[in-house]
Structure 1
Amino acid sequence: MSTTKFATAVVYTDDVPRSVEFYVRATGIEPSLYDRDLGFALLGTDQSVAIASHAAGALMLADGYDTMKSAQVRGAELAFWAADVSAAFQRALDAGALALTPPRLMPWGQTVAYVQAPEGTIVGFLTPVAA
């Protein structure tokens, strides 16, 4: 049995206030911690999503941190459960996201939709897969 477990996914951005505002507007999940001086926020009571400035990234990772070179989509995604995927998708667009995939039903019964957040992260909204 592993002694480690998932803690948080971190989105690094040039504009922490804008990103925090986007994720709050798009998901309704408020920060449980927000250090505006450092540029670091943890969203929700479970703190499973963090928003961090590049300066905070450099502080945490020291010499191992390399800032993003562009705002292009990365090989990562933040996915959020949504009872109403269409409404979540529209809320994200209204908050400033770019539409990637409008809501659609997958062959295994799950409804999914994807946007690109202003800082470039892929954000998914999904229903649970039926048991």
Structure 2
Amino acid sequence: MKFAYTIVYVASVPETLAFYEAAFGLTCRFLHESGQYGELETGSTVLAFATHEVAEANLGGHYKPVTVEGVVIGIELAFATVDVVAAYHKAVSAGAAPLRPPANKPWGQTVAYVRSREGMLIELCTPMGGS
């Protein structure tokens, strides 16, 4: 078994891809001509987005979308970088909601949290082991 991809269901795939490009410096690797599915270039595991309509069709009504209202859901997307402070400020400048500013953790990482425009919890962190 190999972890293949994560799909976040959103209102607008093109707008979400543009936000992740501006906020986190990622690049779009694929956007379907329908605009209902897209992927970011993130390395060996794909981060993808699909519309709420795709989720409804795939899951037959057994679906609750992520929203920006209320508390965050119990999952996060984590992006590793050597400069968490700069990444945090870039994300907030691009429209991410600040949740927790960069802080040094006892296990050696620097970690910060923001919330993306569609409501996902995003962790910005230094790589484990400091490199």
Give TM-score scaled by structure 2 length: 0.86
Does 2:12 align with 1:15?
yes
Letter in 1 for 2:22: R
Shift of 1:87: 0.8
Partner deviation per Cα, 1:31-63 (whole Å, 9 max, x = no partner): 11111514111110535211111122234x242
TM-score (structure 1 length as normaliser) = 0.86
Measured at CA, do residues 69 and 126 of structure 1 come closer, stay the same or move farther in structure 2, by a change above 3 Å? closer
Return 70-79 or 5-14, whichever deviates more: 70-79
Sequence identity of aligned pairs in percent? 36
Moved over 6 A (4+): none
- Stretch moving more, 90-99 or 48-57: 48-57
5+ long unaligned stretches in structure 1? none
Name structure 2 gaps, 5 residues minimum. Answer: none
Check whether the contact 1:54–1:67 (CA below 8 A) recurs between aligned residues.
no
SS at 1:130's partner residue? helix
User: How far apart, CA to CA, are the structure 1 residues paired with 2:84 and 2:12?
Assistant: 27
The answer as to 2:18 corresponding to 1:5 is no
RMSD between aligned residues: 1.9
Cα–Cα, structure 1 residues 65 and 31, in superposed 2: closer, same or farther, change >3 Å?
farther
Q: How many angstroms does 1:21 deviate by?
A: 1.0
Which letter maps to 1:115?
V
**Cα contact 1:38–1:56 (8 A) shared by 2:** no
Task: Quote the residue 1:104 is aligned against.
Answer: 103
SS in 2 for 1:25: helix
Whole-Å Cα distance in 2 between the matches of residues 30 and 81 of structure 1? 15
Whether the aligned pair in 1 keeps the contact of 2:7 and 2:47 (CA below 8 Å) is yes
Matched, 1:55 2:53: yes
